[in-house]
Amino acid sequence: MTAWVRDLAGVDRAAHAGTLDPKVTGCLPVLLGDATRLAQVFLEGAKEYIAVLELHRSAPADTRAILDSFEAELYQKPPRKSAVRRRLRTRRVYDLELLDERDRQLLLRIRCESGTYVRKLCHDLGLALGTGGHMGNLRRSGTDPFDDRELVSLHDLADALAFDEEGNSEPLAAAVAPAERALRHLPRVTIPENAAREVAEGAPVYAPGVLAVDPAPDPVTVGEAGDETDDGEGAATPSEGDLVVCLTPDGTAVCLGTLVADPGASSGEVVSLERVLV
């Protein structure tokens, strides 16, 4: 998929934000050109899936309570066919919602940490329910900060590129988002232009160079035009260890970094550089 998009767009570099297994549909952000530098962002973000859990026997009466118990940090070992080493690891399930139940099928909405194996989760749910079970259909409905309301098909992209060649750039502008859109869910540190020039050369961000710190919008919702809105509730002030994006006052993304100290301090390093974006 990524190679097709790269060739359609006629660019040298492309990257994706998380593999979709065969027969799995849904949200697959593709990064083009310099935007490939943002791939790290998607390792930090959550993913959301709509899954069908096929039970081997009828569901018990306490199904919802058992599902709720899986909203936790879980131990998982990658499946045998996985491309990564099969080592026991932990992954967090943030939300596990039963959307519908029919016969021996449960329709689930799963919001989880990146790298969670939903197939393994479905197997473990079947064991906990006492029925046995396996994953049926699976759709990735979101990869922070994008969701499946923003999907663009390859046909639409090809059409947009054709229109662009004829002088109509509007469809392409609608199909391909600016790189900054991939950063909209991160806490923001605003720095002046002179500090941005130093960061572009590899310097960290020091406290005197911090103009403002804004929390990540929570929740992020996407309007019809793809603009984020924030109701102002639940937004948490970034803390040490959080991934942040540093911006100039005009909104240009300068770097990704890790917050290492109180940005309100009078001196010292506050953002350790992870990736220069300019």
Cβ-Cβ contacts under 8 Å for 197 (sequence gap 6 or more): none
Q: What CA–CA distance (Å, rounded) separates 103 from 258?
A: 48
Residue 64 is predicted with a pLDDT of 95
- Mark whether 242 is an active-site residue: no
Domains and CATH numbers, the chain: 2-148 (3.30.2350.10), 184-276 (2.30.130.10)
Choose, from 7, 21, 34, 156, the residue flagged as catalytic: 21
225: pLDDT confidence band, cut at 50, 70 and 90?
A: very low
C-alpha distances in Å from residue 8, one per residue of 19, 149, 170:
20, 22, 17
Helices 154-165 & 2-9, crossing angle to 10 degrees?
10
* Integer Cα distance of 247 and 255 in angstroms: 7
174-207 pLDDT per residue, tens: 999 888 888 888 999 999 999 999 999 999 999 9
Q: What is the pLDDT of residues 25-38, one digit of tens each?
A: 999 999 999 888 88
pLDDT tens digits, residue range 100-144?
Answer: 999 999 999 999 998 899 999 999 999 999 999 999 999 999 998
* pLDDT, tens digit (0-9, with 9 covering 90-100), for 83-103: 567 788 899 999 999 999 999
Residue predicted with more confidence, 196 or 77? 196
- Confidence check: pLDDT of 264 > 90: no
